[in-house]
Structure 1
Amino acid sequence: MNAVRQLPTKLVEKVWGRDTLPEPFTAPEGKRIGELWFEPPPEHSDLLVKYLFTSEKLSVQVHPSSANARPGEDGKEECWLVLDAEPGAQLAIGFNEEVDAATIEAAARDGSIEQLLTWHDVAAGDIYYLPAGTVHAIGPGLSLVEVQQNSDTTFRLYDYGRPRELHLERGVEVVQGVPYASEHRSTVTERGQTLIDGSHFRLDRIEGAPDAAIAAAYPGGLLALPLAGEVHAKDGSARAAAGECLYAAALNALDFGAAEVTLLTRSN
């Protein structure tokens, strides 16, 4: 396979998605698109990168860790980079105060769990790292980049009366009933900045070419997601602009001469 190639995309319909997407994306007529996935390459199959577009609240949910996942489940840590936020847009992450499992389950059943959660006001450039076990919900009016372990194990605790399955027993077993740690939240402030260096993946934001410190952190395979400008393969075999994503076997296979803002991510 080529050392650099553009990843195929998949549009995912969601009840909370949008029929009109921000540029450069386009929703097919009559479709409410909530997510755009970049299909992970076999060489880097443990990470999944997405765009999310919301018009309604997503379910209150939680994911297990790799350590406490049961057979047939997969652990999932994730992070969000806010690209755009309408006035008043919020993310629910963690609880207002420490709560026990019985309280969480009762609140999920009667709907009062929304009041137990901390709703964070958000703006473009905000970054949130969500360790496994962190309860969360995404509000309407947001465009996000999500980087996550490639896992579809999600336990829904509450879904606003929508007719979808809940997973209270397992969700309550893995949820951390605590406030969200402030050190997991940050904001883009620098040209070249490490946004996340977690247990399972690393995420950096760069403007132009990466500096020596960031380049040294990418000795092997990685994903490059341009937010503005273009990233090219040095051999001319592939390119990606905003809304697209490249897999590269090595960072030195990429040309950042036409890049403006790019996200780099790899497994840890």
Structure 2
Amino acid sequence: MGEIRVGTCSWTDRELVASGWYPEGHRGAEARLRYYTAQFPVVEVDATYYGLPSTRNGVLWAERSPAGFRFDVKAFSLLTGHPTRSASLPADLRPALARQRGRTEPDPGLLDEVWGRFSEALQPLRRAERLGTVLFQFPPRLAPGVPAEAFLRRCRERTAGWPVAVEFRHPDWWRETHFAHTADLLAELGMAAVAVDVVQTLPASVPPVTPVTSGRLAVVRFHGRSPAWGTGSKEDRFRHAYTPEELASWTPRIRAMADRAREVHVLFNNCCGDAAVRAAESMRDLLAAPVVPGPAD
């Protein structure tokens, strides 16, 4: 069985910092990361979606984490086809972004530069063997089809040699009628599929399937089960405290994923207060408990 690593989708979220989860004396940037890495073996860096990371950050994250720790780094918004604010770019790149307003595709020169800087910022983590994967979370408008597959292939060309995981937000990718094709495509591209837990009562709800498309890694992201998923504020979308029963329903599926991948990253994104770290602690305990055999047939 592969190794199961449980963690959260941020260690710097303002509500987490304000919740009191970090003890006194662990409120600075370095102290917070060192405390987090003593509790969990993996974390997702979501700040890299909202702004280009710097090489300096990569160096500091590597220095402040123990050997064997994993950082799953979320791809910058411009690289996944999401709207991108000018302020999220370094100052010297903002004029190029402004010039491309109204275009359906980013300026190739700007895209080349952003890809280059993003890749360079990850090098310290790669050299220190701390990079778990680069997470490409694609927007809901990326529906299955020829254009979307071409976009995925371009992303793979840009990330040759990187560990990559893919989360689709359009539910049709994992509907029963398209499941096999999606899994085959990701396996062909060497990309790990991301399973998700979200509320299942909305038209945009992604099915809670558990595809494993890479023998190296599988990922599960728990977004919470708020009925405001996809709408409202961030707090509305992700406000959910997982119950033990909700978490326990996932443990057999996670263990089954670990039978097919060397590592499984289980990440909680219900980042309101300390809900994510508490859920991660509970899931870690559930997965550590012995498996109780069911009744014999």
TM-score after normalising by structure 2:
0.29
The structure carrying a bigger helix percent of its residues is 2
TM-score after normalising by structure 1:
0.31
The structure carrying a bigger strand percent of its residues is 1
